[in-house]
Amino acid sequence: MKFNTKTIHGGQKHDPAYGAVMPPIYQTSTYAQTTPGDHKGYAYSRTSNPTRSALEHAFASIENGNYGLAFGSGLAAIDSVLKLLKSGDEVVSTNDLYGGTYRLFTKIYEEFGIKFHFIGMENVERIEDYINENTKLIWVETPTNPMMNIIDIKTTASIAKKHDVLLAVDNTFATPYLQQPLDLGANIVMHSATKYLGGHSDLVMGALIVKDKALADRLYFIQNASGAICGPQDAFLALRGIKTLHIRMQRHCENGKAVAEFLANHPKIENVYWPGFESHPNHNIAKSQMKDFGGMVSFTTKGNDYEEAIKIVENLKIFTLAESLGGVESLAGHPVSMTHASIPKEEREKIGVVDSLIRLSVGIEDEDDLIADLRQAIG
Ligand SMILES: *Cc1c(COP(=O)(O)O)cnc(C)c1O
């Protein structure tokens, strides 16, 4: 089955009870048993629920995995991966990282005795310098947030394999429409399904997908033991979102390209960060591991003025000033005052998060309206 069919049918069966084409929302915590232990595959909804199972099968299918797991948020999914580790273990992670992931690693898991090395992985050779006998996990985000750096998944996977270390890839920005990390050698794919997979800014959810049965069993154990599951209503919404992932992504990419090119030609704009430009430092890796370049675009203004950037995001009418990304509607964010406000100025400027940086999640509205909105807002 090809990807555009998998988003609709992958891992799905019509409901056995009445043939419902869409999976019913099994809003139940428990299931009747005829004699103790004799049930129809479901005993208690923390452990499993038929609506969640349908979604987990869809997750596995679209990422070319064998097993999918759904969680109550992206961070709950990441938390479950970290629970594979124990005190004394070490993790090598990208430094341009989703802020909540950084907070979970440093404020929770460092306290439990896990050591993290945050490094720029645009140069994959650097990774090996940080691997020792305690290293158990490499954590990669690509494209990164908000600088749109690209990390070579295939080479990172071969390094991980050589040292017998797990490679987990946060595939939230790219989605499986653009890149499928398991096929490139990653062991675990993670999603904030809150973003593109759900696609309609109406739920918070996380996902993990793996190929290996033993690894899946450990993660299912953690999912059930720790209990950070999603409810059946949200599972239904995510399933509905996934059905249009491919056509939404196609338009996100088209509009992202149009917006990136408009900004690159605007006299008031200094830098535009978008992996589709040939001038992007890892454009060739993006081209080889991604089908297209996505709908996330960041930019800075000439003069790098804080007040001017605030004016621009306030002036926008179709783009909504908001956290998050990946919905059908276009959003704009100002990392310095929003997502990255807690990072010291010196630290954030090292990775390029400067005062005038604006991050756009380009939606699927009409391209002309989006460009007209940016033109009037930038002035
Ligand atoms: C939003 C996001 C997360 C966290 O997911 P939640 O669903 O908000 O918990 C992790 N990684 C990336 C890249 C994200 O954008």
3-242 folds as Aspartate Aminotransferase; domain 2 (3.40.640)
CA of 74 to the centre of ligand 1 (A): 5
Higher pLDDT, 343 or 133: 133
> What's the whole-model pTM score?
0.97
Residues with CB under 6 A from ligand 1: 73-75, 98, 100-101, 141, 145, 170, 172-173, 192, 194-195, 204, 206
What is the band of 90 on the pLDDT scale with cuts at 50, 70, 90?
very high
The β-bridge partners of 140 are 169
Active-site hit among 42, 46, 243, 291: 46
Q: Which two tokens stand for residue 178?
A: 């653009």
* pLDDT value of position 340: 83
C-alpha dist (Å) from residue 33 to 25, 38, 46: 20, 5, 17
Give the per-residue SS3 of the chain: CCHHHHHHHCCCCCCCCCCCCCCCCCCCCECCCCCCCCCCCCCECCCCCHHHHHHHHHHHHHCCCCEEEEECCHHHHHHHHHCCCCCCCEEEEECCCCHHHHHHHHHHHCCCCCEEEEECCCCCHHHHCCCCCCEEEEEEECCCCCCCCCCCHHHHHHHHHHCCCEEEEECCCCHHHHCCHHHHCCCEEEEECCCCCCCCCCCCCEEEEECCHHHHHHHHHHHHHHCCCCCHHHHHHHHHHHCCHHHHHHHHHHHHHHHHHHHHCCCCEEEEECCCCCCCCCHHHHHHHCCCCCCEEEEEECCCCHHHHHHHHHHCCCCEECCCCCCCCCEEECCCCCCCCCCCHHHHHHCCCCCCCEEEECCCCCHHHHHHHHHHHHC
Do the bridges between strand 331-333 and strand 269-273 make them parallel or antiparallel, or are there none, so unpaired? unpaired
Q: What is the pLDDT of residue 30?
A: 97
Q: Which atom of ligand 1 is nearest to the CA of 141?
A: 13
State the average pLDDT over residues 162-185.
98
State mean pLDDT over 321-326.
94
Q: Which atom of ligand 1 is nearest to the CA of 324?
A: 1
Q: Across residues 315-335, what is the average pLDDT?
A: 96
Q: For 96-137, write each residue's pLDDT tens digit.
A: 888 899 999 999 999 999 999 999 998 898 999 999 999 999
Does 89 qualify as catalytic in the annotation? Answer: no
Q: Which residue has the tokens 């050589």?
A: 162
CA distance 89 to 87: 6
Query: Is 342's pLDDT higher than 80?
Result: no
How deeply is 300 buried, as exposed, middle or buried, from its count of CB atoms within 10 A (0-12, 13-18, 19+)?
buried
Say whether domain 246-378 belongs to CATH 3.90.1150.10. yes
How far is ligand 1, taken at its centre, from the CA of residue 192, in Å? 4
The catalytic position among 79, 170, 234, 292 is 170
What residue's CA is closest to ligand 1, atom 4? 74
Residue-wise pLDDT for 29-62, tens only, equals 999 999 999 999 999 999 999 999 999 999 999 9
Share of the chain above pLDDT 70, in %: 100
Sign of CA dihedral 273, 276, 279, 284: positive
pLDDT at 341: 81
Domain ranges of the chain: 3-242, 246-378
Beta-strand ranges (E) seen in 125-228 are 135-141, 166-170, 188-192, 206-210
How far apart (Å, rounded) are the C-alpha atoms in residues 270 and 378?
A: 12
Of 102, 56, 10, which Cα lies nearest the Cα of 224?
Answer: 56
279 Cα: distance to centroid of ligand 1 (angstroms): 28
Element containing residue 273 per DSSP (H, E):
strand 269-273
Please check whether the two domains, 3-242 and 246-378, share a CATH topology: no
Q: How far apart are the first and last CA of the chain?
A: 48
**Is 164 assigned a catalytic role?**
no
Predicted confidence (pLDDT) per residue in 196-210, tens digit: 999 999 999 999 999
**What's the CA gap between 53 and 207, in Å, rounded?**
12
Of 350 and 226, more confident: 226
170 is catalytic: yes
Q: How far is the CA of 134 from the centre of ligand 1 (A)?
A: 27
**Position 347 confidence tier, pLDDT thresholds 50, 70, 90:** confident
